[in-house]
Amino acid sequence: MASPAPDAAIQSPTGAPSGATVAARPLAIEVRNLVCHYDGREVLKKVDCAVASGEVMVVMGGSGSGKTTLLRCMLGLKRPSAGSVRLLGEDVYVCSGATLQDLRKKMGVAFQGGALLSSLTLAENLMLPLEEHTRLDRSTMRTMARMKLEAVDLGGYEDLKPAELSGGMVKRAALARAIVLDPPLLFFDEHSAGLDPVVAAEIDELIIRLRDALGMTIVVVTHELASAFRIADRITVLDRGEILQSDRPQAIRESAITRVQDLIQRRPGRNRSDTDAYLGRLRGND
Ligand SMILES: Nc1ncnc2c1ncn2[C@@H]1O[C@H](COP(=O)(O)OP(=O)(O)OP(=O)(O)O)[C@@H](O)[C@H]1O
Ligand SMILES: [Mg+2]
């Protein structure tokens, strides 16, 4: 396994798509030596990565490589067996309950699949985080929900239920809910999976706008290569729970690591030999 790029590369990035000159940005997210198990099975193996403030990090990797698990660990939802996660300088699994609650206000999350409540309208869905974390009156909450829906081009749809929306609209609504509290940290799981390329590109645009206009630090998990290279300041490539490489998009494109190239060129790679072995066994040749 190749070592992740040193932190110096994070703090003095070159070629960030925003064109922003980032002299020495603080790290907004730091994951160190993270090990995570499900039912005794190790699904993250000493994962190390970091995101500088105001950057977009894309986590790429095949299905089952551990992307969502890494995100859940970052969010404080899945306690790792070892290692640490720091968000905005706070150690998520060591800090007090009050600090964690305060951190939660600073994180916007859009899960794989949207996770909007089907019985509520879009406006009501967006008002949920406001009800949980603020004491605003309902009419102010409703106004804020409407403004955020407008920001993702869903103005006028506030009284519709999720089932009445297209896939792309659900993704945008989930993004609107994630940003309703203007959080400094935004996490997005599979933001463009299953969408047509135009809608996917529109959501990418939105993510870039959130980074550039609001300075959000954003972690996006995706399989979609085009999206990843469009929005990322840094790409972290996961394979079977291990980080193969975490670096600038250009360095990932030019990676000398065969498994990284397999992934970005969509070559079957080692899965091909697994498949061949399986077919061989079926034929009784193995
Ligand atoms: N709640 C769970 N209980 C047990 N095992 C789990 C659980 N969630 C994930 N896993 C296992 O952990 C591994 C990583 O899963 P994870 O969901 O993180 O992958 P992923 O990279 O997000 O995949 P995908 O691209 O399909 O969403 C898989 O082997 C999966 O079976
Ligand atoms: Mg996943």
| Rounded Cα–Cα distance for residues 197 and 263 (Å) | 19
Ligand 1 centre distance from Cα of residue 70 (Å): 10
Q: Which pTM value belongs to this model? A: 0.84
Q: What is the mean pLDDT of the chain?
A: 86
Range from 2-16, 189-203, 217-231 that averages highest in pLDDT:
217-231
Per-residue confidence (pLDDT) for residue 79, from 0 to 100: 95
Residue bearing tokens 């020495």: 24
Confidence band, pLDDT 50/70/90 cuts, at residue 152: confident
Residue 140, pLDDT > 80, answer yes
Per-residue confidence (pLDDT) for residue 196, from 0 to 100: 79
Ligand 1 atom nearest residue 70's Cα: 18
Sign of the alpha-carbon torsion through 249, 251, 255, 260: negative
Ligand 1 centre distance from Cα of residue 127 (Å): 30
Ligand in closest contact with the CA of 77:
1
Specify the 3-state DSSP secondary structure of 257. Answer: coil
Domain boundaries, the chain: 1-106+185-246, 114-182
Which residues, 6+ apart, have CB-to-CB distance to 225 below 8 Å? 60, 264, 266
Residue 13, pLDDT > 90, answer no
Per-residue confidence (pLDDT) for residue 247, from 0 to 100: 95
| Element containing residue 46 per DSSP (H, E) | strand 41-52
Per-residue confidence (pLDDT) for residue 6, from 0 to 100: 39
Answer yes or no: is the C-beta of 68 below 6 A from any ligand 1 atom.
yes
Position with higher pLDDT, 96 vs 14: 96
| Least trusted range by pLDDT, from 14-28, 147-161, 211-225 | 14-28
Answer yes or no: is the C-beta of 66 below 6 A from any ligand 1 atom.
yes
Answer yes or no: is the C-beta of 261 below 6 A from any ligand 1 atom.
no
The number of helices, as runs of H, and strands, as runs of E, in the chain is 11, 10
Confidence band, pLDDT 50/70/90 cuts, at residue 151: confident
Answer yes or no: is the C-beta of 64 below 6 A from any ligand 1 atom.
yes
Answer yes or no: is the C-beta of 121 below 6 A from any ligand 1 atom.
no
Per-residue confidence (pLDDT) for residue 114, from 0 to 100: 64
Decide which of 3.40.50.300, 3.30.470.20, 3.40.1080.20, 3.40.50.720 is the CATH code for 1-106+185-246. 3.40.50.300
| Rounded Cα–Cα distance for residues 27 and 51 (Å) | 6
Q: Which of 31, 38, 41 to mutate to test the pocket of ligand 1 (most atoms within 8 A of CB)?
A: 38
Q: Which of 65, 112, 190 to mutate to test the pocket of ligand 1 (most atoms within 8 A of CB)?
A: 65
Q: CA neighbours within 13 Å on the CB side: how many for 19?
A: 0
Ligand 2 centre distance from Cα of residue 112 (Å): 7
Per-residue confidence (pLDDT) for residue 265, from 0 to 100: 86
Residue 272, pLDDT > 80, answer no
Residue 220: which of 25, 1, 27, 70 has the closest Cα? Answer: 70
Q: Which of 36, 37, 67 to mutate to test the pocket of ligand 1 (most atoms within 8 A of CB)?
A: 67
Residue 222, pLDDT > 60, answer yes
Ligand 1 centre distance from Cα of residue 17 (Å): 30
Confidence band, pLDDT 50/70/90 cuts, at residue 5: very low
User: Identity (one letter) of the amino acid at 157?
Assistant: Y
Confidence band, pLDDT 50/70/90 cuts, at residue 21: very low
**74-78 contact pairs (CB < 8 A, 24+):** 74/29, 74/31, 74/187, 74/219, 75/107, 75/109, 75/187, 76/100, 76/103, 76/104, 78/36
| Rounded Cα–Cα distance for residues 101 and 180 (Å) | 17
Report which protein residue has its CA nearest ligand 1's atom 3: 38
| Bridge partners of residue 217, in order along the sequence | 185
Per-residue confidence (pLDDT) for residue 169, from 0 to 100: 86
Q: What is the pLDDT of residues 173-189, one digit of tens each?
A: 998 999 999 999 999 99
Residue 284 token pair: 């009784």
